Structure 1
């Protein structure tokens, strides 16, 4: 496949081709303030894209892709974050020789401290660990029911995974791969995760309970914090005092004061808000809105959307690193039916 990035200034052409450049999306309309445009480029990667994570140690974007039932086509992709070209593609282990099914990868997080990458294998109810250096599969860790997301706390040597299937939040030692802690909340549906590496507390968006579940490695019981309508993804502010929850049912982002345990603002972002990320550099919050087919940039201080960036259909995940965001969609709009990746240089 060709990974050459196609660029265009025309939004209509961009949507058709899956590429956008410097689209200014309604900052004036939303805030009345002048706002420079973020620069957006895109490229087709693979069918079945799900999530991505940035490795600062290796300057690599890791992405997961899984397609089909049973899933015979799945890959952990090593992507150049500047060009969005796939540098390497690693196939997960085969789990069923008769069907060719593999241990399909969905969620992803990097551990730069130990030079590994962690994935959730949702259909296999497990978490896996790979080498960032070689792509070798190092371990499969079972008993995470419908494992959805994983996040790494490098300071405390823990990887936390959400078990959407049974309401569990599970921590693994990133050095030994042994299970260290498990908290199960009956009736909960933990989905997205974010961790405060200063305190060690992990926050899970509880899709079933309209709340965040806070779990400390040092406390026996979880703490429950209100969120919005259908929280499915969560991110933290740079100081760790505020959480941002993507509320799928509401099509909004909730701003949550973690000390007061209260929602302080609800900002409409777009239908089907699915994934949220916060930029530590600017404080801006990005939300991928699956149904609306766009990514909104929110200024939480103004409590307003300051930019709207169109994507192809079904944006699925957003992550951000030092002012650059990466978005994956599930549009199938690439020239060979691939899903697309977007690189967004956020406006200052």
Structure 2
């Protein structure tokens, strides 16, 4: 996509517990929020299940390339030493794997690889960025060939990555030490580091018009705002257990998936406050905003559903069943692509679910 096009990218979230292979623990007191709105009556009448196709085992996140019209996905299986991981290239029409690329081996003795988890694409430079959570790093791959181009260390428990094409920047969240780290997408050099003591940065989004990065703080029930030129980050309260973040096209609002509360919070970024809280389902995990319609889609991991929200009305307008444990949402061209961890493929593969955002 052209750098002159305003593109609000978000990387919604894979649970930290899943990436770490352990139990998710939330810390920090919840901020006060406005009264919760009841879900729209239509939300109680589930729609037909999403179209689904098996991909590979260990799916985590996905990112759509408009330049190449492909969906990239990450997969990693098991606990350390992880020996099975892949960067997968998927045809969004057929939902079939076009190609699969193995990360580099990091330990010859055990066969451990630089396993990939979080992901975003940089169409300006035709690359894919991943987080290598267990290796405390991020990596860059070629979209054209799948070749591993670089590994960039120094992001403790690297969780998500989001690319700001307009400003040649990739932001990564360091859940392990409360940091947001920015890299130059041309040189791969670190260009900025923002630290909030005690924070647990998880989901990421960036406003490409302003260059401002946002992260959910899973530990503090807040959003971390890192604006260009700001001497210190701004902290904005949101719902309980915020683990994923999305921005609409205008960048004035943030939507957080509140895992502990099972809700989506609509946050006014100018006022710095929650204006609406929408119940969606147990285990709210990942959120995305459709730039065309403004519809917000959220994956409810425990409930095994995706909720489609009208943010202006603050209501769920449709609930769609998915495979078990939906883990991440990517919206492209009016379609939501949801990777799950159902293991229901013929060889135990996880699924890609496809849902039309509008109908």
TM superposition score normalised by structure 2: 0.87
User: Deviations along 1:117-163, whole A, 9 cap, x unmatched?
Assistant: 00000000000000000000000000100000000000000000000
Distance in 1, matches of 2:191 and 2:111, equals: 33
The one of 146, 149, 155 aligned to 1:144: 155
Unaligned runs of 5+ in 2: 1-38
State the partner residue of 1:270: 281
The structural deviation recorded for 1:42 is 1.0
User: Is 2:160 the partner of 1:125?
Assistant: no
The structural deviation recorded for 1:343 is 1.4
| 1:120–1:150 CA contact under 8 A, matched in 2 | yes
User: Is 2:173 the partner of 1:162?
Assistant: yes
The one of 290, 301, 304 aligned to 1:293: 304
State the partner residue of 1:247: 258
State the partner residue of 1:15: none
The 5 Å alignment of 1:1-348 reads 30-31=40-41, 40-69=50-79, 70-348=81-359
State the partner residue of 1:8: none
- Name which of structure 1's ranges 294-303 and 125-134 shifts more when overlaid on structure 2: 294-303
Distance in 1, matches of 2:190 and 2:48, equals: 42
- Pairs aligned (count): 319
Distance in 2, matches of 1:170 and 1:62, equals: 22
The structural deviation recorded for 1:31 is 4.3
Distance in 2, matches of 1:219 and 1:113, equals: 26
The structural deviation recorded for 1:40 is 3.2
Distance in 2, matches of 1:32 and 1:56, equals: 32
Unaligned runs of 5+ in 1: 1-28
State the partner residue of 1:11: none
Distance in 1, matches of 2:302 and 2:154, equals: 32
CA shift in 2, pair 1:38/1:200, >3 Å: farther
Distance in 1, matches of 2:354 and 2:102, equals: 24
Q: Which has the higher contact order (CA 8 A, sep 6+)?
A: 2
The structural deviation recorded for 1:322 is 2.3
Q: Secondary structure at the match of 1:46?
A: coil
User: Deviations along 1:59-87, whole A, 9 cap, x unmatched?
Assistant: 01000000023110000000001111000
| 1:149–1:193 CA contact under 8 A, matched in 2 | yes
Runs of 4+ in 1 over 4 A off after TM superposition: 35-39
Please report the RMSD computed on the Cα atoms of aligned residues, expressed in angstroms.
1.6
Distance in 2, matches of 1:245 and 1:303, equals: 13
Distance in 1, matches of 2:259 and 2:333, equals: 26
- Name which of structure 1's ranges 312-321 and 164-173 shifts more when overlaid on structure 2: 312-321
Distance in 2, matches of 1:120 and 1:217, equals: 23
